[in-house]
Structure formats: structure tokens, C-alpha cells
Structure 1
Amino acid sequence: MTSTQAPATPERKFERSLLEAILEASPDGIFVVDDQGIILCHNQRLLEVFGIAPGAIAGGEDGDLAGLDDQNLLTQVLPLIHEPEPFLQRVMMLYADPLLEDHCELECRDGRTLERHSRALWGEDQCYVGRVWFFRDITARKRVEHALEQLAQHDPLTGAANRRHFFERAAEELARARRHGDALSLVMLDLDHFKRINDHWGHAAGDRVLQAFAAGVRSLLRREDLFGRIGGEEFVVLLPATGLEGALPLAERLRRQTEGLDLEENGERVSVTTSAGVATLGAGDASTDALLQRADEALYAAKRAGRNRSFCQA
């Protein structure tokens, strides 16, 4: 811990020792300022969290920032923050209103995520005497949370949205399309004779086919398109702001992409094709289920017509 000097009475020595132990044992980077924004004390972890080398801040060459205006620290910190302007605005707001407390997450330019807490310090008669700031690196925790979220929302084999997540997102997109009067289309895909692949080459080979198929589909989609797996070999693509004139050609590209997959098992070529059914949002479609039903009808019309083709329901 670094701080301004205090009278060397036994009581003050104990208080200083206790404060030092608390600060240096904390996983947070901590610093305290007075009511004028002058740094009263901080711990070493503060410099570590922001990757600031001792001596990088003018006046704190020995790593001790006590007595410096916190603007010196801000000057070093701002270039590290992904969105520095909102960060600075919030800091100024907190200093302007001592009643405000803060708890937020900050994205850094180096990909890390920091958690920030701040609250005012009050003296006698509720007089504002300064503010304490806490910064913690939560990057590892965020990565775990993201991984768990991915597991909860996506099919682990193909990476496509699972059935529950797909329908949640699809309902949001349908509501958005209704609100703004936008087009919305859906392509339903089903691998032809997939059971034969599993029966002939085994389920592990079938899994590899599904993975290759899904990778091929994703390679042709836009960022805003939603790709989901709703059954064993049944997949669906939701296309925001897309009418029939865009959805049907895409279904054909997906069909040709699948037909062209170059897959082998035990020296034999694995022939893979898909049938596609396309539907666009109509005035009578009250839900995603209605849109999906019409796409399903188009899909089975394609199956009855011989498979490996795309049909549509306007």
C-alpha cells in the first residue's frame, strides 16, 4: 500500500497497518481520493490491473501515487478503455454527485473485462470527504459465463442455435419485423436419407456429416441470420429483412453447397443432399410456428418431388 504520511502514534500505526493489510490482500485494485480528487492511498494491485509500470505516472516514479491529482492516473487509464468517452463521463458524474454509487463492467482494448465499484466516503455530519474506487479483472469469469451461455443456447455438435434459443430469438425477430414493417423469411432444411448414412457408416460418421453440413451453411449466411437445429437432421435459417426474392436463391445456394460436400468414410464418398422449404412472413402469421409450418409444408413438397430441391410457400 502507498499513502500519505500519518502521525506516528500507536493508534495511527495500528490503523495504518490494518489498512495496508486489507488493501494489499484485496484482489481489487483500490484507490481513495479526497474531496478534491487528490489520491490519498492505493494498493499495488491497482497498477497491476491497469498494466501501469511503476514510474509511468509523472510524480509517482517510485510507484507511490499518494498526493497526486487523480487526473494523472486517468491519463494513463483512458487509452486502455475500449470506449473512453462514456468511461470519463461516468467518472465526472460520480465526482459531481457524491450520492451516486457505481457498479459496472468495462471493456478494455486488450480484450479484458474489468468490474468497477465506487462509492463516496462521508465524515462527521455527513460531510463528503472523498471517494473510494475498486477495479477487478473479471476476464476469466466472463469467459466461463460466455462458455456456459454458449452451451445453454447452442447445439454442442454443430454449433447451431438449439431449439429453445432459436424460437426465443425468432419470436423477437418476428415482433421486430411486425413493428417496422420489414420482410422476414425462413428456410427449413432436412438432410435427405440421413438414416442411411448412420446405418451404413455409423453414428460417428453421421455426426461428422452434420458438422460439415452446418459449417457449410454458416459460410453462406450473414451476421444477422439465425441458424438453428430443431431436430436430428432438421435445421432452420431465419432471414431478417429478407423476402422471397432473397430467401429462395439462398435456399438454392445452401442446397448446392450441401450437394458439393466432399466427404469420405473408409475410402468411400459420402453423398449428402438436402431438401429445403421456404416461407415468408404473411399478414396471417401470428407466430413463428405459423411461419415454420408453411416452410415445413414446402419442405415436404420438395421431398415428395424427389428430394435435393427447394420449394417455397409465399
Structure 2
Amino acid sequence: MTPDQTPATPERKFERSLVEEILEASPDGILVVDDQGMITCHNQRLFEVLGIPPGSISGGEDGDLAGLDDQHLLAQALWRFREPEAFLERVESLYADPDLEDHSELAYRDGRTLERHSKALWGEGRRYVGRVWFFRDITARKRAEHALEQLARHDPLTGAANRRHFFERAAEELARARRHGVALSLVMLDLDHFKRINDHWGHAAGDRVLQAFAAGVRSLLRREDLFGRIGGEEFVVLLPATDPEGALQLAERLRQHTEGLEFAEDGERVSVTTSAGVATLEAGDASLDALLQRADEALYAAKRAGRNRSFCQA
């Protein structure tokens, strides 16, 4: 919509009609303001993308905002953004320096994501005459990217970090622990007699056991803990800022939780247990391999002692 008041010659009518057709055909929400921050034109898609009802802005007639200060639009939009203060700061910096361009993302409280692009408009003699804004809803694209990222980094059956992602993150945590001089512990978990479950009840039953086990582990972890699947029934938990005592306590909680899991397959009761090996980073450890080796030794000590136990490797 445009507020152009130029006498309506056939040529001007055609130009206005062409501009309006281009605006309305765009998949982006488009807003144009002059050098005083007054809205000169926009398209209807702007309301859809920003999530603002067309008739909700005071002073706008039939959804036409031309001639209004852009603050009217901001007042309706700001509360919908996840970080309104950051958006306002960016807008102010763009208006303060017309040479700046903006190409960034805008997160909404409702989970949507917009792509935002803005650049200055220049008249004759490079005179600043206003700014144009483009808003595009990229929520579907962001969700698809997130889904692909999850597939690349996580085991599809259990949701635990896959082997590659676990070791990438573990290397980062190891470097952080050394840099800050804090503890770092690891719990290695292995489901006891898991092959019997697969052999007797089938792999579908085994998959259900793995999924329930993994869900139980995640429910007992902190946000900063890293849970990974590094083998068929072998899992690891990396515990930043956790000493041997704290790691062993967690291992026991995980063991007890697993012991409480029960399944029924073909009318038979299926019980599950896990053994756990615990190790903590030592000053002489050259790499993560040393920590994993000690946790593995502790795990097999638990297996040799009868399974369904937690051992800590000194």
C-alpha cells in the first residue's frame, strides 16, 4: 500500500499499480519508512509474517499503515519477540547510521523464527531518504535444519549422542577441565546379558529396552552432563565438575533405576540390570583414552563381581 499523493496520470497509476503488485506478490513481509521513521508503504504479508492482526494498530485504516510512525507497528510487535531489547537496540543503531545493513534472525516467543533484512534507501546526491525492511518466516527451514543436526549428532534409536558427537564434545570438556582445574568424571554403563534379550525375545524387544533405559538415564542427568551411546548396549556419561564420589553416587542411581525397569514380552516378565564403571580425570592423563580405559576396567570389575554393580577405578 502506498500513500503517494502525486496526481494520478496514467503513467503514475501504472507505476503505483506495478509497485503494489510486486509488494503483494512477495513472500516476504515488506516495510518501507522515510527518513523520519514514517511508514510510506508495506504489503499485507507483513501482518502475516509478524503475526499482527491488520486492524489492531491504532490509526491504521483497513490495515493501511501508510503515514503512521513506525512506533505504532513496533508497539504491536515487540512483545512477541524473545529478545525485544536486543531488537530495539539494533533498530536504533540502524537508524543512527544509514550505512549499516542488517541481515539476522529474529526469534519469537511462540517458537517461530524470522529472517530479517534491512538496508538504507538513497536519493539523488546520496541523500538518505529512508529504510526498507524485509521479514521472512524461516521456521520450517530452521526446524528441518535442527532435525538434520539431531540425526547427524544423535543415535536415532535412543536419542543419546552418537559415538562421533560424544567424543567431539568430550574433548571440549576435557580441555575445559584442564584449563579451569576442575574435576571431570565418566560413568561407563553396559546392560547385563543384553544378548539374551535379543536372542530370546527378538531385536524389537531389545530396542524397547534400550529406549527405556536411555530415557531413564536422561531423566537423572543435569543439563551439562553428556550422555552417549558408543556401542550396541554400551553407554557413557561424562560429568563435568564432578568428583569420584559424586560420579559413583550417580552411577548407583542409574543402576537402581535400571533395576526397577520391567517389561512384558509374550506374557513373560523381562528384567533388566546394568553394570557401571566410574573413573575421574587425573593430572597425568594425556588424553580422554586414559579416562575411558580406567572406566572400562571398573566396568569389567563390576561384571566379574556378579553384574548389577557400580565400581569406581582408583
TM-score range (shorter-chain normalised) is over 0.9
Counterpart-to-counterpart distance in 2, 1:7 and 1:234: 78
In the TM superposition, 1:102-121 aligns within 5 A as 102-121=102-121
AA paired with 1:251?
Answer: A
Contact 1:185 1:280 in 2 (8 A): yes
- Which residue of the partner structure matches residue 241 of structure 2? 241
Counterpart-to-counterpart distance in 2, 1:3 and 1:30: 15
Deviates more, 1:150-159 or 1:4-13: 4-13
Identical columns (%)? 85
In the TM superposition, 1:1-314 aligns within 5 A as 1-314=1-314
1:79 is displaced (CA, Å) by 1.0
What is the number of residues matched between the two proteins? 314
SS of the aligned residue for 1:55 comes to helix
Counterpart-to-counterpart distance in 1, 2:301 and 2:253: 19
Contact 2:279 2:292 in 1 (8 A): yes
AA paired with 1:114?
Answer: L
1:54 is displaced (CA, Å) by 2.5
1:5 is displaced (CA, Å) by 3.1
Counterpart-to-counterpart distance in 2, 1:2 and 1:148: 42
Task: Compute the TM-score of the two structures, normalised by the length of structure 1.
Answer: 0.96
1:4 is displaced (CA, Å) by 3.3
Contact 2:2 2:16 in 1 (8 A): no
Contact 1:3 1:64 in 2 (8 A): no
Counterpart-to-counterpart distance in 2, 1:140 and 1:2: 31
Question: Would the alpha carbon gap of residues 3 and 177 (structure 1) be closer, same or farther in structure 2, given more than 3 Å must change?
Answer: farther
Counterpart-to-counterpart distance in 2, 1:15 and 1:136: 25
AA paired with 2:123?
Answer: G
1:144 is displaced (CA, Å) by 1.3
Deviations 1:147-177 (A, max 9, x none): 1111111111111111111111111111221
1:61 is displaced (CA, Å) by 2.8
Contact 1:4 1:66 in 2 (8 A): no
Structure 2 residues not aligned, in runs of 5+:
none
Contact 1:3 1:42 in 2 (8 A): no
- C-alpha root-mean-square deviation of aligned residues, in Å? 1.3
Contact 1:161 1:227 in 2 (8 A): yes
AA paired with 2:122?
Answer: W
Contact 1:101 1:120 in 2 (8 A): yes
SS of the aligned residue for 2:95 comes to helix
Deviates more, 1:66-75 or 1:284-293: 284-293
Counterpart-to-counterpart distance in 2, 1:80 and 1:2: 26
SS of the aligned residue for 2:54 comes to coil
Structure 1 residues not aligned, in runs of 5+:
none
Contact 1:157 1:207 in 2 (8 A): yes
Contact 1:2 1:43 in 2 (8 A): no
Contact 1:104 1:115 in 2 (8 A): yes
1:2 is displaced (CA, Å) by 4.0
AA paired with 2:148?
Answer: L
Deviations 1:260-282 (A, max 9, x none): 11111111111211111111111
AA paired with 1:300?
Answer: Y
Deviates more, 1:47-56 or 1:252-261: 47-56
Deviations 1:56-97 (A, max 9, x none): 212113211111111111111111111110110000001111
Counterpart-to-counterpart distance in 1, 2:244 and 2:186: 9
Moved over 6 A (4+): none
Task: Compute the TM-score of the two structures, normalised by the length of structure 2.
Answer: 0.96
